[in-house]
Amino acid sequence: MRCAGIDIGSRTIEIVITEKSKIVDCRQTETGYDPLMQTKKLLKGLSYDRIMATGYGRNLVEIEFDSPTVTEIKAYAIGAKELFPAVTTVLDIGGQDCKVIALFDNGKIKKFEMNDRCAAGTGKFLEVMANTLGFDINEFGDHALSAKKDIQINSMCTVFAESEVISLISKGQSRNDIALGLHKSVARRTISMLKRVTTNGMIVFAGGVAKNPCMRDLLAKLLEQVIYVPENPQTVGAYGASLLAQEKM
């Protein structure tokens, strides 16, 4: 049976088609201002027997495609467990959310934490900061890794941090160094959330921010442990949703 999992996030939409647990197709696009239209475009030409939606836009799909839904928390947990059977903690940093999910041995969710309404410590924060510094978001982490100096950024609020960055620029600090400071501030916040849940065992890092090499590096260094990143970190939620569609009904 072919099952589609669709994850409508704040920044990107992913679709994963599975047969049993094997990924047979995978697509991604920007969410934009009309997620439903984007979803329809993305689904065009794809064949599947069942669909399951997740992500903040899941209810849009639920109505339009008569699709069952699951929260991204459960979807990420299931996806990560399939990819890394020994996983105990899933960290997902996406466009507007940051989540830490602790799992029981059987893959069920033990506990989770998620940021509140504020975008501090999420992909959005990094994106705004990359823009302020004139970096492409896809290269932001590489630039941060080439920093020569440690700069402490104190503000976690996107708005305040932007002012802080601007004042550092005006003091003549190098933008690579500022970039590292910003990554460190997100890493510290992430670690405090991880510690509230658990850092024991295997940590799998997923979501768009997992593509950032500096974030992966900092988390591994500060936690003194290996951080596992799936090959396609943004599709873990869609993959989990499609696996759930396989199981259900």
Partner 1 sequence: MSQDYHQMWSDLGLDLDAHDALLDVLSKAYGDIYLSQNHRPETMQYFDFVMSEVHGLRIKELLDEKEQGRKIIGSYCVFVPEEIVLAANATLIGLCSGADFATEEVEQFLPRNTCALIKSSFGFKLGKVCPYLESADLVVGENTCDGKKKAYETLNDLVKNLYVMDLPQVKSNQGRKLLKSEYYRFKTEVENLTGKTITTDALKKGIQIVNNKRKAIHRLSNLRRSNPSPISGLDALLTNQVFFYDNPERFTDSVNKICDELEQRIKQKIGVFPESTPRILLSGCPMAVPNWKLPWIIESSGAVIVGEESCVGERGVRNLTNDSVNTVDELMEAIIDRYFKIDCALFTPNPDRLNHIKEMVEAYTVDGVIHYGLQFCQPYIMESIPVEKVLEKNSIPILRVETDYSMEDVGQLKTRIEAFIEQLK
- Residues near partner 1, by CB under 8 A: 56, 70-74, 97, 108-109, 111-112, 114-117
Q: How far is the CB of 53 from partner 1 (least distance, A)?
A: 12
Nearer to partner 1 (CB atom), residue 27 or residue 81: 81
Nearer to partner 1 (CB atom), residue 108 or residue 149: 108
Q: How far is the CB of 7 from partner 1 (least distance, A)?
A: 12
Q: Are 5 and 52 in contact (CB under 8 A)?
A: yes
Q: How far is the CB of 158 from partner 1 (least distance, A)?
A: 15
Nearer to partner 1 (CB atom), residue 56 or residue 205: 56
Of 245, 194, 246, the C-alpha closest to 219 is 194
Q: How far is the CB of 114 from partner 1 (least distance, A)?
A: 5
Q: How far is the CB of 95 from partner 1 (least distance, A)?
A: 12
Nearer to partner 1 (CB atom), residue 221 or residue 248: 248
> Beta partners for 18?
3, 23
Quote the CA–CA distance of 232 and 244 in Å, as a whole number. Answer: 19
Token output for 25: 């197709």
Nearer to partner 1 (CB atom), residue 97 or residue 177: 97
Nearer to partner 1 (CB atom), residue 180 or residue 204: 204
Q: How far is the CB of 40 from partner 1 (least distance, A)?
A: 21
